[in-house]
Chain A
Amino acid sequence: QKEVEQNSGPLSVPEGAIASLNCTYSDRGSQSFFWYRQYSGKSPELIMFIYSNGDKEDGRFTAQLNKASQYVSLLIRDSQPSDSATYLCAVNHNSGNTPLVFGKGTRLSVIA
């Protein structure tokens, strides 16, 4: 059973701080890793994906992947109140057409 674990939160950070969201996964063969943001009442939207060990930066967002430790994280620099949302981690084994496995999400609250 492939599992993806996230702390449900809420994670509260002050405006301008760095928010750190973590995700662990059980399947060592996982190849693709995704972070989605979901505002209340809306559908998830992709923030970024990462395939290789190390860091990947996109604006204020940095994804970090450590396959040996089976965790992936998302850092949000200079957090803004508009970043307040639920962040979903998703993992894919990349073996043919197997579906993504989603974590239950971490709720982030950025306090002005």
Chain B
Amino acid sequence: SQTIHQWPATLVQPVGSPLSLECTVEGTSNPNLYWYRQAAGRGLQLLFYSVGIGQISSEVPQNLSASRPQDRQFILSSKKLLLSDSGFYLCAWDRGRGDTQYFGPGTRLTVL
């Protein structure tokens, strides 16, 4: 069966500090991978998605970036965090072509 991991689970960072969130998927190969952000009380905002190693599509221009160094690894980064980067960051995967999308447990980021 497939499993998706995210870490850390919670993170408190000062404004201007760097960020690295990691997501890995087990039990499948060549998944589509996604990063979402959910601000408090708000809907899901798609940040990035990837259909293969090194292939990243950005949905929203901002100070975040994503990388996919391995087939089942997806990393979300920032060089300098802003207060507005606070939120619940969710990684997800699917097999594409309208298949079900599965979410990881999420990382709650607070920027102070």
Is the pairing of A and B real?
A: yes
- Residues on B with C-beta less than 8 A from A45 are 103
Question: Cβ of A104 and Cβ of B101 under 8 Å apart?
Answer: no
**A88 adjacent to B100 (CB under 8 Å):** no
How many CB-defined contacts (below 8 Å) exist between A and B? 50
Q: Are A43 and B51 in touch, CB under 8 angstroms? A: no
| B79-111 near A? 1/0 per residue, CB < 8 Å | 000000000101000101111111111101000
Q: Tally chain A residues at the interface, Cβ within 8 Å.
A: 24
Determine whether A14 belongs to the interface, using a CB cutoff of 8 Å to chain B.
no
B46→A99 contact, CB < 8 A: yes
B104 in contact with A99 (CB, 8 Å) = no
| B74 contacts partner chain A, Cβ-Cβ < 8 Å | no
Residues of chain B whose beta carbon lies under 8 Å from any beta carbon of chain A: 32, 34, 42-44, 46, 49, 51, 59, 88, 90, 94, 96-106, 108
